[in-house]
Amino acid sequence: MKKFCLLMAALFTLVAFSSVAAARNRVALLPYINASEEHKGYVDEAVLAGYTFRFDKDGYEMVPEAEMARALENCDYTADDEELPDKDQLASVAEETGADFVVAMSIETLNASRHVSFFQAKVTAKGKLAYKVYAAGSRRLYAFKTSSTDDNKTVFGGVGYKSPIVNVLEDALEQGHDRVTAYIAENSTTNVVTRPTPRRQQVAESAEAQMASVQDTRDETSSSRSVTHYPRVRRATASEDDR
């Protein structure tokens, strides 16, 4: 009974690791490009929260920055031109890093303008983001853009630029995140369990060993129970009865 419980625990652990492996996509999230005129610190903070850290929190297996930087360098890509990588470059990054998906994003436009009247002051912010998502399994490229607008009004006192700009970024990033994750879900090929890590391999080997041990024990028990030895009863012959 004890061995059976250990076996079930090992199998449960193996299934749990396999499920996690099957559910996680490996994603290369390239550093974003800011091609706009806004380079304040709160722009970086908004992008970190809505782009960089957001995908990490979703549970994807993220490609380390060092691996991405090396892969981008090897495919002769530079962000100095403030343009996103093309399909061939994204495919090269996916191949070198083993990523299932490669995501790139740039801030194309982000600006704010102030409008002051006798009774009211208003700051209007507008922004547009460009995305590219490459699916290694299907070799498909998905490119799209998101945009947003926000007004910050006040009747008394001044009005700042930070709030409307951050609101625009957060909204556009939320739109982009939803579309990227939907595309990943539609093109995911992780229904096949990924290659096991050393830890998963140990669990698998342990489960197999315990299964073999329990099977051997069951075979021995079954064998001993299948043959019942009875004492031999000697039947009397007719000649013996006469005696």
Write down the pLDDT at residue 16: 40
Please report which residue ranges of the chain form alpha helices under DSSP H. Answer: 2-23, 41-47, 53-57, 65-74, 87-97, 162-187, 198-226, 238-242
**39-to-218, 224, 237 alpha-carbon distances in Å:** 70, 80, 113
Structural domain contains residue 228: no
Contacts of residue 124, defined as CB under 8 A and 6 or more positions apart, other chains included, come to: 112, 113, 115, 149, 150, 151, 152, 164
CA-to-CA distance for 111 and 128, rounded, in angstroms? 10
pLDDT value, residue 98: 96
Task: Quote the Cα angle for 30-55-183, to 5°.
Answer: 85
Please give the pLDDT value at position 216. 55
Is residue 91 assigned to a domain?
yes
Helix axes 65-74, 87-97, angle to 10 degrees: 130
At 114, the amino acid letter reads R
pTM of the model: 0.67
Overall number of domains in the chain: 1
Tens digits of residue pLDDT in 122-178: 778 899 999 999 999 999 999 999 999 876 655 444 557 788 889 999 999 999 999
**In this predicted structure, what is the pLDDT of residue 77?**
93
Q: How far apart, in whole angstroms, are the C-alpha atoms of residue 99 and residue 237?
A: 86
Q: Does any domain span residue 194? A: no
Per-residue model confidence (pLDDT) at position 6: 44
List of the chain residues with pLDDT < 50: 4-7, 9-22, 155-157, 191-204, 214, 224-243
166 in a domain, yes or no?
yes
Confidence (pLDDT) at 164: 86
Minimal CA–CA distance to 52: which of 36, 34, 29, 75? 29
Q: Is residue 133 part of a domain?
A: yes
Residue 168 lies in domain:
26-187
Between the CA atoms of 183, 188, 67 and 107, what dihedral angle is there, to the nearest 10 degrees? 0
Tokens 């004890």 found at: 2
Task: Identify whether 95 is part of a domain.
Answer: yes
Q: Give me the residues paired with residue 143 across strands.
A: 132
Taking a C-beta distance cutoff of 8 angstroms, is the pair 189, 23 a contact? no
90 found inside a domain: yes
CATH number at residue 79: 3.40.50.10610
Is residue 183 included in any domain, yes or no?
yes
- The pLDDT, as a whole number, for residue 205 is 54
